[in-house]
Structure 1
Amino acid sequence: MRVEMLIVPDCPNGPVLRERLELVLAGRTDVELAEHVVGDQAEAERRGMHGSPTLLVDGRDPFAEPDAPAAVSCRLYRGADGRIGGAPSVEELRRVLGVPGGADRAAGRAGRGRLAPAEGGLREVQQAVLRSFAATGAPPSASEVKSAAEPFGVPAAEVLAELAAEDFLTLDDTGHVQAAYPFSAIPTEHVVQIADGPAVWSMCAIDALGIPVMLDTAAVITSTDPLTGEKIRVEFTDGKTTWQPTTAVVYFGARPGSGPAAAVCCSYLRFFTTRATAEQWSGRQADLSGAVLDQAEAERLGADIFGPLLSTPAR
């Protein structure tokens, strides 16, 4: 598959489309990505450009209206939620490029998702750990983990070790739960106040956005822009989400290499007050790749990854 970006000089939305394409196509070796700067109307007509930026997939513009004229003007895209933007969303790019399982890959488990298998007590123990965090803000006691694993005839320590090996949770040097995505037992900058429940720490921004959906409850997320120190607040209530400031975004990034999400990407999934601060901060990080997600994209990602974790029966 050949994917081409067509932009005019200094197009402000060219970098937005490029970083979203790099995120969607990460790890794909069968895709050739090219970028062309179009200088005039004649070249726009020759290349099939319908405004800047234009995406061509094997020579076709999947977002163009029938009989849309060639143009070198700025282009706007309307998302499925009705929002207008200067580039297609990550979700829309996945759709037109035929890239499935974007949320699973984002979860850091190579497309396998965050829900543990039911076999061997893995899901039972995972869900027991998650419910303990949701109810108390802390992982379960050793006896509670033992009770969850006991019906399967497997020692609790073995179940925890397997869950850690498959990156469903992390353990400290003594074998105690240190984190269970989306929760952290260690303080982080992302605090989620659960309605009628405890305040909990999340592993990252996407994890924080997934907690209210996973628990089907109202909640208030507070975090900090790592560049400016300004506060960010996201409130889930009555089926609505309110962001403060209204310009806030999420940066979704990862460093190269393998390992648990806690080590590879959690430090790079962060809230920012504006796209500008997210881009400035990410530009200072060596070997970091990723994309700035708007609010709707970040919310969908959190919901897709964490929404099913407690709604899917353990057996």
Structure 2
Amino acid sequence: MLELTVLTVPDCPNEAVLRERLAEVLAEHPGASISHLVIDNEAEAARLGMHGSPTLLINGVDAFATPGTPASMSCRLYHDETGPIGGAPSMVALREALRYAADSRIPAALAQAAGRSGLGRVAPVEGGLRAVHQRVLRAFAQTGASPAMAELDQVAASYGVTGAQVLARLHAADFLRLDGSGAISAAYPFSPAPTLHRVRISGGPRVYAMCAIDALGIAAMLGKDVTIEATESGAGKAITVFVPADGSTPVWEPASAVVFYGRQPADCGTCPPDSCADAEEREEAPSVAADLCCGYINFFTSTEAAQAWADGHPAIAGQILGQSDAWQIGVHIFGPLLNPLPTS
């Protein structure tokens, strides 16, 4: 169910524009509820997550805020890939945000890690974030490796920034990860380093995926058939999944295979697998998926095998997902990542 909240300052001149656009797009979501709050002080704006007036919260989240945007009561200006477009999100942007929120199938208890606190993995258009992010993903899909910084600089230049500046912002918001030297160490769904999840892209390279869910989402993201060659955690047994590009049901071998979808405890959210340290001493946000859950979202040959692994790792919270649910979560998270940039 969609719960929408419109936050405005008194007599906001752009509230009527947002209301009009919402009235049209919400015809596609008849079960949605909407409320309106007038904010008259900075403390309330900060508490509710208001990033200028008007702000639209979808299930409590401002899907249009650029990472690092502070709370504000100022007049808000929304952007698309061409620059400023006015005082409310475009119709295309509203439909995209509402569709993503309405279609979410990520288990609620695990959404913080896998779904960036419910925000998903589609980077904002503003500041070249999505353009650079998409260039990184396409490079992995075409070559199996990160693009050269010169390529990213070329993409970022039209936004008045450098590739390194955009990568830093994408890292801060966990759209990808950088190592200490600034090199890409994770580009969900792709991993530059070997993992348990190897993926053969039809007509393309062999790549590694960060986790089982990431691997299952690659076909939808690229529009290409993929074959996943996975290894069962702790047992070394092989699992193969053929995922068609046309959205038809994947073929799993063995037919009994499942996915365990787990994460570390919240108080150890930034530790790499099997290495626990005080999260407060680290710079990363506690919801960083590469550290929190990617090492614990794996294929297993059967429900029994997955349950045995879970029983042997009681500190790892999680659940066993059937084939359909695991695949659909992957499609939901990664399917939209290379969609064309929206226009107003």
User: For the superposition of Structure 1 and Structure 2, which TM-score range results when normalised by the shorter chain?
Assistant: 0.5 to 0.7
Q: CA deviation at 1:105?
A: 4.4
What 5-or-longer segments of structure 2 have no aligned partner? 1-100, 267-285
Matched residue of 1:116: which SS? coil
* Residue 307 to residue 106, structure 1, CA distance change in 2 (3 Å): farther
Residue type matched to 1:166 in 2?
A: A
Q: CA deviation at 1:287?
A: 1.7
CA distance in 1, matches of 2:146, 2:224: 20
Q: Which residue does the alignment assign to 2:50?
A: none
Q: Which residue does the alignment assign to 2:216?
A: 209
CA distance in 2, matches of 1:190, 1:162: 27
Q: Are the aligned partners of 2:152 and 2:162 in contact in 1 as well (CA < 8 Å)?
A: no
Q: Percent identity?
A: 46
Q: CA deviation at 1:267?
A: 0.5
The two structures, once aligned, show a CA RMSD in angstroms of 1.8
What 5-or-longer segments of structure 1 have no aligned partner? 1-97
Q: Deviations over 1:121-156 (max 9, x none)?
A: 000000000000000000100111111111000121
Selected match of 1:131 from 138, 141, 146 = 138
Q: Which residue does the alignment assign to 2:264?
A: 255
CA distance in 2, matches of 1:298, 1:101: 12
Q: How does 1:1-80 map to 2 (within 5 A)?
A: none
Q: How does 1:201-280 map to 2 (within 5 A)?
A: 201-237=208-244, 239-257=248-266, 258-280=286-308
Q: Which residue does the alignment assign to 1:23?
A: none
CA distance in 2, matches of 1:229, 1:248: 14
CA distance in 1, matches of 2:319, 2:210: 18
Q: Are the aligned partners of 2:196 and 2:232 in contact in 1 as well (CA < 8 Å)?
A: no
Matched residue of 1:232: which SS? strand
Residue type matched to 1:169 in 2?
A: L
Answering whether residue 218 of structure 2 is matched by residue 190 of structure 1, we say no
> Where does structure 1 differ by over 6 angstroms across 4 or more consecutive aligned residues?
none
Q: Which residue does the alignment assign to 1:305?
A: 333
Q: Are the aligned partners of 1:249 and 1:274 in contact in 2 as well (CA < 8 Å)?
A: yes
Q: How does 1:93-132 map to 2 (within 5 A)?
A: 101-103=104-106, 105=112, 107-132=114-139
Q: Deviations over 1:240-292 (max 9, x none)?
A: 41100000000001112224100000001000000011011011114211100
Answering whether residue 163 of structure 2 is matched by residue 156 of structure 1, we say yes
CA distance in 1, matches of 2:342, 2:315: 39
CA distance in 1, matches of 2:147, 2:192: 11
* Residue 99 to residue 151, structure 1, CA distance change in 2 (3 Å): closer
Q: Which residue does the alignment assign to 1:35?
A: none
CA distance in 1, matches of 2:170, 2:289: 13
CA distance in 2, matches of 1:116, 1:312: 12
Q: CA deviation at 1:194?
A: 0.1
Q: CA deviation at 1:228?
A: 2.3
Q: Which residue does the alignment assign to 2:206?
A: 199
CA distance in 2, matches of 1:99, 1:287: 31
Q: CA deviation at 1:192?
A: 0.5
Q: How many matched pairs?
A: 218
Matched residue of 1:178: which SS? strand
Q: CA deviation at 1:181?
A: 0.5
Q: CA deviation at 1:303?
A: 0.2
CA distance in 1, matches of 2:255, 2:299: 12
* Residue 262 to residue 106, structure 1, CA distance change in 2 (3 Å): closer
CA distance in 1, matches of 2:117, 2:103: 12
Q: Deviations over 1:11-34 (max 9, x none)?
A: xxxxxxxxxxxxxxxxxxxxxxxx
